[in-house]
Structure 1
Amino acid sequence: MSETLEAKKDCTEARAALEEFLHNELCAEDAADVRAHLATCEECSAEHHVGEMLTAALQGACRDRAPEELRAKLLESLRAARDQHA
């Protein structure tokens, strides 16, 4: 296989595994393969960086609590809906 075709194959495989790599869901051998590819491929490394940033932003957003007033209104609405259907 030519070097260009091999590189495209490596990129395709690495990008297919990025989501699992970001969440530490790959076996050690597969994670090492992705890590090695990212060390040598600027495009895949940039895509990985974007994935890291999005993951961090989502994790941060999930830690925020709703304001107490909003939580109280939501609970009141849920209780009213439950009572109507009970």
Structure 2
Amino acid sequence: MTDCGCDKAKAELEEYLHNELARDDAADIREHMKTCVDCSSELHVNVVMTEAVQRACRETAPEDLRLQVLSKLRDLQATH
């Protein structure tokens, strides 16, 4: 396995985070992250952001707000 380089690691970072890369490509990036402080820092930032977004997506709106939004959407659909 060879070091994939910063350009490849950064270009494929999103796919790497979501386990969407081929095994060899993911292994190359994983190996690169072991020796590149810049790329591993960027990976850490992206992991933290991804986890924050995932937590936020699990939250649900209060029922009364949800019903108000649905009502407004129905009103808008009826007038268009």
Q: TM-score, normalised by structure 1?
A: 0.81
Structure 1 stretches (4+) deviating beyond 4 angstroms? none
Unmatched 5+ stretches in structure 1:
1-6
Partner of 2:17 in structure 1? 22
The answer to which structure, 1 or 2, has the higher relative contact order (CA under 8 A, 6+ apart) is 2
Residue in structure 1 matched with residue 6 of structure 2 by the alignment: 11
**Aligned: 1:43 with 2:41:** no
**Could you tell me which residue of structure 2 aligns to residue 61 of structure 1?**
56
Q: Structure 2 regions of 5+ residues with no counterpart?
A: none
Match of 1:31, as an amino acid? A
1:78 Cα deviation from its structure 2 partner: 1.6
RMSD value over aligned CA atoms? Answer: 1.6
Percentage identity across paired residues of the two chains: 50
Does 2:77 align with 1:76?
A: no
Equivalenced residues, count: 78
Aligned mates of 1:11, 1:78 — CA distance in 2: 46
Greater helix proportion: 1
Quote the residue 1:52 is aligned against: 47
TM-score by length of 2: 0.87
